[in-house]
Amino acid sequence: MRWPPLPAWFVLALCAAGRGAAEPAPGAAAEEVPTVLMVIVHPENPVTDLPLSELRALCKLERQFWASKRRCALYLPPSKSDEYAVLLDRVYRMTHKKLQKYWVQKLFSGDIPSKPEHVPSAKLAVDKVKEEPGALSFLVAGEVPKGVKLVTIDGKKPGEKDYALLAIPPKKGAEDEEP
Amino acid sequence: MTTPRLLSALLLSAALLEAADDTERMNRLEQENAELRRRVEVLEGGQGGLEMAIEGLLAEGGDEGLGLNLTTRRGPVKAMLQVFGDVGFSFDDPPPADRSHTSFFLGGLNLFFTAQIGEHLSILSETVFKTSVGGMTDTGAFDQERLSATWTFSDLLYVKLGLDHGPVSRWNHLYHHGRWLETTIDRPFLARFEGAGGILPMHNSGLEAGGRVRTPIGRVEYVLIVSNGRGRTATDPQKYSDRNDGKAVEFGVSLAPDALEGIEFGFHFRVDDIPEIPGDVARARSIRELIGSLFVQYHGDRFEVIAEFVHIENRDRLSAVDFGHNSGYVQVAYRLRPEWLPYMRFDARSMDVGDPYYMPLGRDLDRWETLFGVRYDAAANVAIKLEFGFGRGERRASGLILTDTLFRLGLQVSWVF
């Protein structure tokens, strides 16, 4: 059977597109520094490690309580921050707009009593976690501030190989583009 | 007393006096020091508060939520208010009874309030100003759609007391009166409210217990409800009282498998005893109602699918006749661009004619509709929907059942803030 020439051209075009995508433009790699997040909780929280799936469930409020029966109070970074962009990419796997609709839907269904708060700065995130035994928040990876505890993800600390919470934040203004 | 002794005594007295002065001075200095420390702490606290206020103000421009984000927090209370609304235009052929083909309509104004009090108690209220079309004049009134208090022990168990929308229809559980949340302009047949031609109980006034658990295959949610059940007619949801001791009992289970992210499916089962109507010979005895429903939904990056099927089995205890009714729909949407969401829905109900519960309202008649439309998200919290539908529907005329071809066109603007 003689196949029409279109599939061959199509495959060649796909290969070319794939090669093009695999080779970043010169100089681009230098700019694309990934943001690495660390997860912090109150020191009294017995949790020391979370699988990514559990963190996702906590962040989407599909799971709202710690094993200690204390409610998990989630404090998110500001919506325009790189930290939040990493969360959207690696944890929520949706755009900011979709996440906002998700919260409205969850609230309206009665599935959650309130939305998570966005804290405007890392200092306030640390303060909230210090104050509330059930709190969970995120910081750009670095020195762990006094009064809070680092939680590893899938047994890995920030900076270790295959650590889950790192991503290259999208360029500003592109956050709500469809994947 | 000799002079040296006198001198020594004087020197000792002077030294003692000086030491007393030093102690007093030290005490005063310590007090001043403590006061200064206190003032520094107050100033630092004030600076922290000021910093929080400034950062909070800066964050307000950060698009943290939809609309006005009306949230307040005082001590253990965190409360939130959201307002949904919709207005629109419709063309119907044939027109509704005693109405013209074309109408501008006021959908509803929905005041949704929720509060979390401490870690375990939450309050929810949904009040809707809506219109009632019929009779010589249309009327509008506020109606309490939901009011409940929930105590959540853990993820595994919550207990809710009050008035809520029933989960026998998944659509009802997801969207309530929030038209902005719905992809389409109107609800499918099986999810229409009691006062809008619906065939299912959409409201439950009672006690609900449920929870969720993570299993190796995914998230399982479960619910058990005991409620007043349905009233004497299909339009009476018995929100405020019950006319018989036979309570409605229902339970449901759903699964969101980890392997298929975005998919959720489940079933629901309900049994109720619909009270008799005193003085009505056709309804001299109660009706036992069994309802079973299934749903599947998928919300992906671009695709949205929701489908439901329900079977209702009504046994009239007077005539000992069983009436079986089926209804279902499949709705598919595909997001072309972030703002544009075209959709289609096939919706049908197949009813046993003559059910004494549905017949007086004409709800024992068959109907189907195919719907095409597009939703345009003009802003993050504003949707404009345009759709047209066609189908077939039965109606009674002079004791006969006739079938009409139906056509409708609708435009709706809905929002939340």
What are the C-alpha distances in Å from B349 to residues B168, B214, B367?
A: 16, 35, 5
Measure CB to CB from residue B65 to each of A70, A100, A124 and give the nearest one: A100
CB B257 within 8 A of CB B263: yes
Q: Which residues contact A116 (CB under 8 A, 6 or more apart)?
A: A59, A61, A74, A75, A76, A103
- Is residue B74 less than 8 Å (CB to CB) from chain A? no
CATH number where B86 lies = 2.40.160.10
What's the structural domain count of chain B?
2
Per-residue pLDDT tens digits for B8-51: 666 666 666 666 667 777 777 777 777 777 666 555 545 545 55
**Short-list B112, B113, B116, B114, CA closest to B77:** B116
Read off the pTM: 0.81
Q: How far is CA B2 from CA A20, B8, B10, B15, B345, in A?
A: 112, 10, 12, 20, 121
Distance in angstroms (rounded) separating the CA atoms of residues B186 and B198: 12
Find the CB nearest A79 among B62, B78, B338. Answer: B62
- Distance CA(B278)–CA(B276), nearest Å, equals 6
Query: In this structure, which amino acid lies at residue B167?
Result: P
From the candidates A98, A108, A126, A128, which should be mutated to test the interface with B, based on the most B CB atoms within 10 A? Answer: A108
Boundaries of domain holding B329? 70-416
**B30 and B2 within one domain:** yes
Residues B171 and B38 occupy one common structural domain: no
Handedness of CA A61, A128, A35, A151 (dihedral sign): negative
Of A49-58, A132-141, B126-135, the one with minimum mean pLDDT is: B126-135
Say whether residue A156 is in contact with chain B using an 8 A CB cutoff: no
Using a CB–CB cutoff of 8 Å, tell me whether A149 touches chain B. no
The minimum CA-CA distance between B197 and chain A, rounded to whole Å, is 23
Chain A residues within 8 A of B52 when measuring between CB atoms: 120, 124
List the single residue in B63, B150, B155 with the smallest CB-CB distance to A63.
B155
Does B245 share its domain with B386? yes
B80's tokens: 């939130």
- Identify the H or E element spanning A1: none
Question: Does one domain contain both B288 and B412?
Answer: yes
Same domain, B162 and B204: yes
CA distance A69 to chain B (A): 6
Q: How far apart are CA B325 and CA B327, in angstroms?
A: 7
Q: Is residue B26 located within the same domain as residue B122?
A: no
* Residue finishing a domain among B29, B62, B95: B62
* pLDDT for res B401: 93
Tell the CATH superfamily of the A33-167 domain: Periplasmic binding protein-like II (3.40.190.10)
Least confident among A96-110, B34-48, B243-257, B345-359? B34-48
Amino acid B214 reads R
- In this structure, the answer to whether residues B99 and B25 fall within a common structural domain is no
Confidence of residue A14 (pLDDT cuts 50, 70, 90): very low
B266 secondary structure, DSSP code: E
Please check whether residues B287 and B233 belong to one and the same domain: yes
Residues B227 and B276 in one domain: yes
Whether B87 and B158 map to the same domain: the answer is yes
Q: What would you report as the CA-atom Rg of chain B, rounded to the nearest whole angstrom?
A: 33
A118 vs B: CB within 8 A: yes
Say whether residue A173 is in contact with chain B using an 8 A CB cutoff.
no
Scanning B141-170 for CB atoms below 8 A from A yields 146, 148, 150, 152-155, 160, 164
Domain locations along chain A: 33-167
pLDDT at B15: 63
**B12 and B44 fall within a common domain:** yes
